[in-house]
């Protein structure tokens, strides 16, 4: 079969193959137009290794591909940054997937690397997004301090678009300007939701990091977290603070329903926990960090975390005490920024510490897992929680450490903090016929 012939020739690893010449070549070999279109579709969507996709998808796929010019150049290069980005800081391919992928492939510690990426993005990238191709990976961690991230288990995902950066204050301001949305932190809590609270405590606000002036035992977060009246995304530290000059910082004090409202407006959705980790790992296999094996390779800080002595002395050796502008650190292997550190990010999964165990016990590859049906956190059994991912500027190796790839966090859905934000994903609008990965639910 032609497709197998092309695959065995390794031509898909070389670039570029001109569309016209390939088309002529196919026709000379006696293939009909329909067969040719199907082959092109298969190549475009899945590389040469998969079976031919349904003819019904072939024509629109080809038309879209031709209109976007995305045919037959290097698959890797086409997953890089897109010129349509609204942020010129990210318009350079220098920081894109091809460069980052080469960098990743040069990592000396490559044992057990994930399969190489060969899929081409289905059409033009939405502004500010990167295509993460379908694939499999090992999800989890063997860090002793992450018991809820064990065991390693195999996960298979369909392809998806993901924001290159956290949602910024500027982006969120535009959303609020257009929709007049009021975030949870800006609303006065309802007495019926907090029947035990005295009325004077029912004031709009959010949770802010308020470090003590002296060292404290790290067994009680109440020593450095405070509910601050008037704190919200416009006033991250409280009423006296604002976001002037912070346009390109991640928006914070975002509750789960705030993120969902933004997602609906943007025609996107929150990532699943598995999608987040797959994207965070950037093509590396079971590495401790999204960028490799060391926290600070060559002494270089790769993410906005916490240095010094937690919680009272933040030396900001990485350059930032609090949030950092998006793009302040190198992107990962998929060209994504701040997948570790800066601020935590919401995912759509409910949290359970035993979820990975249940997936592993099932004995099969988990296909597009979307989290457990319910939530359970042993430390607060009565509080349902969603998974947070990525860690923040408050994560330190003395405490938390969940800027490490695979580290899991969790939070009550109505609670935002000044180190919690989000980014979004988007499914392909083009039917991807060969992505026949069944949902686990």
In the complex with Ca ion, the residue whose CB is nearer, 256 or 393, is 393
Count other C-beta atoms under 10 Å from residue 229's C-beta: 12
In the complex with Ca ion, the residue whose CB is nearer, 310 or 393, is 393
- Contact yes or no for 344/270 (Cβ under 8 A): no
Identify which range of 26-34, 77-85, 227-235, 299-307 contacts Ca ion by CB under 5 A: 299-307
In the complex with Ca ion, the residue whose CB is nearer, 231 or 302, is 302
Q: CB within 8 A of 227, min separation 6: which ones?
A: 205, 206, 207, 208
- Cβ 323 to Ca ion, closest distance in Å? 9
Distances (CA, A) of 2 to 5, 16, 17, 385: 5, 18, 15, 51
- Cβ 391 to Ca ion, closest distance in Å? 11
- Contact yes or no for 276/388 (Cβ under 8 A): no
Site residues for Ca ion, window 22-61 (CB under 5 A)? Answer: none
For residues 341 to 370, the per-residue mask of contacts with Ca ion, x marking binding by CB under 5 A and - elsewhere, is ------------------------------
- Cβ 169 to Ca ion, closest distance in Å? 18
Identify which range of 283-291, 372-380, 389-397, 414-422 contacts Ca ion by CB under 5 A: 389-397
Classify residue 253 as exposed, middle or buried by CB count within 10 Å of its CB (0-12, 13-18, 19+): buried
Total binding residues toward Ca ion, as defined by CB under 5 A: 4
Copy the structure tokens of residue 100: 């980052």
Tell me how many degrees the CA angle 2-7-13 measures, rounded to the nearest 5.
135
- Cβ 235 to Ca ion, closest distance in Å? 21
- Contact yes or no for 416/381 (Cβ under 8 A): no
In the complex with Ca ion, the residue whose CB is nearer, 275 or 318, is 318
Question: What angle, rounded to 10 degrees, do the helices at 55-68 and 33-46 form?
Answer: 70
In the complex with Ca ion, the residue whose CB is nearer, 99 or 304, is 304
**In 36-177, which ranges are E strands?**
129-132, 135-139, 153-157, 160-163
Site residues for Ca ion, window 240-259 (CB under 5 A)? Answer: none
Query: What is the C-alpha separation between 31 and 76, in angstroms, rounded?
Result: 28
- Cβ 277 to Ca ion, closest distance in Å? 22
Site residues for Ca ion, window 144-203 (CB under 5 A)? Answer: none
Listed residue (411, 429, 428) closest to 420, CA to CA: 411
- Cβ 396 to Ca ion, closest distance in Å? 9
Query: What is the C-alpha separation between 72 and 143, in angstroms, rounded?
Result: 41
310 near Ca ion, judged by CB under 5 A: no
Site residues for Ca ion, window 92-151 (CB under 5 A)? Answer: none
In the complex with Ca ion, the residue whose CB is nearer, 392 or 434, is 392
Query: What is the C-alpha separation between 253 and 171, in angstroms, rounded?
Result: 15
- Cβ 244 to Ca ion, closest distance in Å? 21
In the complex with Ca ion, the residue whose CB is nearer, 308 or 372, is 308
- Contact yes or no for 252/421 (Cβ under 8 A): yes
Listed residue (410, 350, 401) closest to 380, CA to CA: 410
**Torsion sign across C-alpha atoms 391, 397, 398, 401:** positive
In the complex with Ca ion, the residue whose CB is nearer, 232 or 304, is 304
DSSP letter at 67 equals H
In the complex with Ca ion, the residue whose CB is nearer, 356 or 393, is 393
Identify which range of 85-93, 228-236, 311-319, 404-412 contacts Ca ion by CB under 5 A: 311-319
**Longest Cα separation, the chain:** 81
Query: What is the C-alpha separation between 392 and 342, in angstroms, rounded?
Result: 4
In the complex with Ca ion, the residue whose CB is nearer, 318 or 377, is 318
- Cβ 101 to Ca ion, closest distance in Å? 27
From the list 165, 206, 272, 304, which residue makes contact with Ca ion (rule: CB under 5 A)? Answer: 304
Identify which range of 89-97, 160-168, 183-191, 390-398 contacts Ca ion by CB under 5 A: 390-398
- Cβ 85 to Ca ion, closest distance in Å? 26
- Cβ 273 to Ca ion, closest distance in Å? 24
From the list 318, 338, 345, 349, which residue makes contact with Ca ion (rule: CB under 5 A)? Answer: 318
320 near Ca ion, judged by CB under 5 A: yes
Listed residue (227, 231, 232) closest to 201, CA to CA: 227
Query: What is the C-alpha separation between 297 and 331, in angstroms, rounded?
Result: 14
From the list 393, 406, 421, 422, which residue makes contact with Ca ion (rule: CB under 5 A)? Answer: 393
- Omega within 30 of 0 (cis) for the link into 16: yes
- Cβ 411 to Ca ion, closest distance in Å? 20
In the complex with Ca ion, the residue whose CB is nearer, 301 or 386, is 301
Which residues of the chain form contacts with Ca ion (CB under 5 A)?
A: 304, 318, 320, 393
């Amino acid at each position: 079969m032609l497709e197998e012939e092309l695959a065995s020739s390794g031509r898909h690893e070389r670039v570029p193959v001109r569309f016209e010449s390939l088309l002529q070549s196919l026709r000379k070999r006696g293939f009909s137009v329909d067969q040719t279109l199907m082959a092109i579709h298969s190549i475009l969507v899945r590389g040469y290794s998969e079976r031919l996709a349904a003819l019904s998808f072939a024509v629109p796929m080809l038309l879209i591909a031709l209109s976007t010019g995305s045919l037959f150049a290097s698959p890797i290069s086409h997953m890089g940054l897109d010129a349509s980005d609204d942020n010129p800081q990210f318009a350079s391919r220098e920081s894109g997937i091809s460069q980052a992928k080469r960098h990743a492939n040069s990592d000396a510690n490559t044992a057990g690397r994930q399969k190489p990426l060969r899929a081409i993005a289905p059409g033009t990238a939405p502004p500010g997004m990167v295509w993460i191709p379908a694939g499999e990976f090992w999800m989890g961690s063997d860090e002793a301090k992450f018991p809820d991230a064990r065991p390693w288990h195999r996960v298979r995902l369909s392809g998806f678009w993901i924001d290159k950066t956290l949602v910024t204050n500027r982006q969120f301001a535009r959303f609020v300007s257009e929709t007049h949305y009021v975030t949870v932190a800006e609303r006065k809590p309802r007495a019926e939701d907090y029947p035990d609270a005295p009325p004077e405590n029912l004031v709009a606000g959010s949770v802010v990091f308020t470090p003590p002036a002296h060292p404290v035992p790290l067994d009680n977060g109440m020593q450095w977290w405070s509910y601050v009246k008037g704190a919200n995304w416009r006033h991250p530290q409280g009423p006296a603070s604002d976001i002037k000059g912070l346009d390109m910082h991640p928006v914070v004090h975002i509750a789960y329903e705030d993120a969902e409202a933004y997602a609906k407006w943007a025609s996107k959705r929150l990532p699943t926990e598995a999608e987040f980790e797959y994207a965070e790992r950037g093509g590396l296999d079971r590495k401790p960090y999204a960028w490799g094996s060391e926290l600070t390779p060559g002494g270089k800080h790769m993410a906005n975390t916490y240095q010094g002595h937690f919680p009272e002395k933040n030396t900001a050796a990485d350059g930032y005490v609090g949030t950092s502008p998006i793009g302040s650190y190198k992107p990962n292997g998929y060209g994504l920024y701040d997948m570790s550190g800066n601020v935590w990010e919401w995912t759509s999964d409910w949290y359970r510490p035993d979820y990975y165990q249940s997936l592993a016990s099932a004995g099969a590859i988990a296909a597009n897992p979307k989290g457990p049906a319910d939530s359970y956190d042993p430390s607060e059994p009565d509080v349902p929680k969603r998974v947070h991912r990525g860690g923040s500027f408050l994560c330190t190796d003395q405490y938390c450490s969940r800027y490490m790839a695979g580290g899991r966090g969790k939070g009550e859905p109505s609670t935002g903090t000044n180190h919690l934000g989000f980014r979004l994903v988007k499914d392909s609008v083009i039917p991807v016929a060969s992505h026949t990965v069944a949902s686990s639910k």
